């Protein structure tokens, strides 16, 4: 029996509609995951060099244009020109496994493509031979696809050889780099307009709970906010101002372990709750990771449904922290063997068979047998309150004490 396959008449509308449901920085996650998976694929057969993902300026592009364009590079498997043309110009294809619980094979092209209509330059090396192509939104046809390239032979194609002068330093014989050109030729995509200087470092640290040990992720960290004061070479250090350094991304678990005074994990009926007690004094690292009270969900070592600041305190209190909720971090990790969990298309939240996570159920189970360290934290806070004020006083405070008791 033959079936006439469905076609998409307006791919630009579909791409931009899907992208509208994602956060503007979602492309960072998508490109990072692609890079990690490419390294892990190479390391199945070749472990001769450690895996490195580098978010940096494209220094070769800077020399030619004077613009700081953001580039991610990895020393993974790499792609031939033909592979790039096949994978990159297909909406739901990545050359690796696709499933509802793994990478969907379209995230980077949708999120990065819409945020960078001027183009995404893909550069890739296989066996020390480099090729490149450019995914862009054609300004005349208003459609996404591979930009036509004039070849040395006089013909035209959609991928072409590239010089090693454009190769990032973490790539030897195999690897891929993606350069984000942005919405205009004059845009410095290293720091999107309105974003803080260390936006990329904080995004990656707070998106990933843990990172694979076999891969190191680095980010170029500039010392000044104004592009006029940025270095023109990666070799200019932080000393003296106007320099930069490479900062290693650790993920939230590592950062929290370095500061928490107590932490632990509690297994529930269909999830595990990871908890951390923060010190009473303020942690001065809020520009690179979320170092105040918050709550979220962990799935495949990524963080979802994060609530921070005042927005987090109500949900944290539901887990039994009537006092001290402003010093506690809670992550709920669903048990995938008991729950059919998957990320939504935008990767902004998790679903269990299409329904929201059972937060109320988990909170009830957790507070019914609260870990001793969390009970002691509340005892300490109640005791210090009574010392400061012999009469606990107002009805709202008295009510919370009754709940705790």
- Using the predicted structure, report yes or no on whether residue 380 has a pLDDT greater than 70: yes
User: Where does residue 290 fall: left (phi above 0), alpha (psi -120 to 50 degrees), or beta otherwise?
Assistant: beta
- Using the predicted structure, report yes or no on whether residue 101 has a pLDDT greater than 60: no
Beta bridge partners of 144: 137
**Side-chain-facing half-sphere of 351: CA atoms under 13 Å:** 12
| Residue 322: predicted pLDDT | 94
How many residues appear in the chain?
405
Taking the model in full, what pTM does it have? 0.91
What are the start-end ranges of the E strands in 167-287?
A: 175-180, 215-222, 244-248, 262-267, 271-277
The mean pLDDT of the chain is 91
Extents of the domains making up the chain:
11-250, 253-404
Q: Out of 93-107, 239-253, 304-318, 363-377, which region has the weakest mean confidence (pLDDT)? A: 93-107
Asked whether the beta carbons of 329 and 276 are under 8 A apart, the reply is yes
- The C-alpha atoms of residue 341 and residue 357 are separated, in whole angstroms, by 9
- Using the predicted structure, report yes or no on whether residue 392 has a pLDDT greater than 50: no
Binned at pLDDT 50, 70 and 90, residue 389 comes out as low
Q: Out of 87-91, 260-264, 306-310, which region has the weakest mean confidence (pLDDT)? A: 87-91
Binned at pLDDT 50, 70 and 90, residue 5 comes out as confident
Q: Out of 10-19, 68-77, 242-251, 363-372, which region has the weakest mean confidence (pLDDT)? A: 10-19
Angle between helices 26-43 and 199-207 (to 10 degrees): 60
| Residue 253: predicted pLDDT | 98
Asked whether the beta carbons of 30 and 72 are under 8 A apart, the reply is no
Nearest to 312 by CA among 285, 334, 333, 290: 290
Binned at pLDDT 50, 70 and 90, residue 106 comes out as low
Nearest to 277 by CA among 291, 296, 297: 291
| Residue 206: predicted pLDDT | 98
The more confident residue out of 67 and 153 is 67
| Residue 6: predicted pLDDT | 82
- The C-alpha atoms of residue 340 and residue 352 are separated, in whole angstroms, by 5
| Residue 92: predicted pLDDT | 63
Alpha-carbon torsion, ordered 171, 174, 180, 185, to 10 deg: 80
Asked whether the beta carbons of 68 and 164 are under 8 A apart, the reply is no
- Using the predicted structure, report yes or no on whether residue 189 has a pLDDT greater than 90: yes
- Using the predicted structure, report yes or no on whether residue 252 has a pLDDT greater than 70: yes
How far, rounded to the nearest angstrom, does the alpha carbon of residue 212 sit from its chain's CA centroid?
14
For the record, the structure tokens of 256 come out as 């929290």
- The C-alpha atoms of residue 129 and residue 125 are separated, in whole angstroms, by 5
Average pLDDT estimate for 367-392: 83
The more confident residue out of 269 and 396 is 269
Asked whether the beta carbons of 209 and 329 are under 8 A apart, the reply is no
Q: Residue holding tokens 């008991």?
A: 338
| Residue 134: predicted pLDDT | 97
Asked whether the beta carbons of 122 and 135 are under 8 A apart, the reply is yes
Q: Out of 328-342, 370-384, 390-404, which region has the weakest mean confidence (pLDDT)? A: 390-404
- CATH number for domain 11-250, candidates 3.30.70.890, 3.40.50.1400, 3.40.50.300, 3.30.565.10: 3.30.565.10
- Using the predicted structure, report yes or no on whether residue 112 has a pLDDT greater than 90: yes
Average pLDDT estimate for 266-295: 97
Average pLDDT estimate for 188-207: 96
Average pLDDT estimate for 375-391: 78
Q: What percent of the chain is modeled with pLDDT above 90?
A: 79
Average pLDDT estimate for 193-220: 97
Contacts of 386 (CB under 8 A, 6+ apart): 392
- Using the predicted structure, report yes or no on whether residue 402 has a pLDDT greater than 60: no
Binned at pLDDT 50, 70 and 90, residue 390 comes out as very low
Burial class of residue 175, CB neighbours in 10 A (0-12, 13-18, 19+): buried
| Residue 3: predicted pLDDT | 86
| Residue 160: predicted pLDDT | 96
């Amino acid at each position: 029996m033959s079936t006439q396959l469905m076609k998409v008449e307006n791919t630009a509308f579909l791409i931009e509609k899907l992208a509208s449901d994602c956060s503007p920085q979602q492309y960072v996650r998508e490109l990072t995951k692609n890079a990690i998976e490419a390294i892990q694929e190479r390391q199945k057969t070749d472990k001769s060099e450690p895996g490195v993902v580098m978010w940096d300026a494209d220094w070769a592009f800077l020399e030619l244009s004077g613009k700081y364009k953001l580039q991610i590079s990895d020393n993974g498997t790499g792609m031939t020109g033909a592979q790039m043309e096949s994978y990159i110009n297909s909406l739901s294809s990545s050359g690796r496994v696709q499933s509802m619980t793994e990478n969907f094979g379209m995230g980077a092209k949708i999120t990065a493509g819409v945020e960078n209509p001027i183009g995404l330059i893909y550069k890739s090396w296989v066996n020390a031979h480099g090729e490149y192509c450019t995914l862009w939104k054609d300004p005349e046809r208003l459609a996404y696809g591979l930009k036509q390239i004039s070849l040395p032979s006089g013909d035209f194609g959609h991928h072409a050889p590239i010089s090693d002068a454009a190769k990032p330093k973490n790539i030897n014989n195999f690897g891929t780099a993606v350069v984000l050109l942005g919405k205009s030729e004059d845009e410095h995509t290293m720091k999107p307009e309105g974003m803080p200087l260390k936006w990329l470092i904080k995004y990656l640290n707070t998106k990933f709970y843990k990172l694979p040990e076999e891969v190191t992720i680095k980010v170029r960290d500039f010392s000044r906010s104004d592009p006029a004061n940025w270095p023109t070479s990666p070799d200019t250090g932080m000393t003296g101002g106007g320099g930069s350094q490479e900062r290693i991304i650790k993920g939230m678990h590592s950062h929290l372990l370095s500061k928490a005074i107590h932490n632990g994990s509690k297994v529930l009926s269909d999830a595990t709750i990871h908890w951390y007690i923060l010190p009473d004094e303020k942690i001065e690292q809020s520009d690179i990771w979320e170092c105040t009270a918050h709550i979220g969900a962990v799935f495949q070592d990524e963080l979802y449904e994060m609530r921070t600041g005042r927005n987090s305190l109500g949900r944290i209190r539901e887990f039994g922290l009537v006092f001290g909720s402003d010093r506690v971090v809670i992550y709920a990790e669903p048990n995938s063997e008991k729950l059919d969990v998957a990320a939504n298309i935008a990767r902004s939240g998790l679903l269990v068979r299409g329904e929201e996570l059972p937060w109320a159920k988990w909170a009830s189970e957790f507070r019914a047998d609260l870990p001793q360290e969390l009970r002691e934290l509340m005892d300490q806070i109640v005791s210090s309150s009574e010392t400061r004020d012999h009469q606990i006083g107002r009805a709202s405070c008295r009510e919370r004490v009754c709940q705790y008791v």
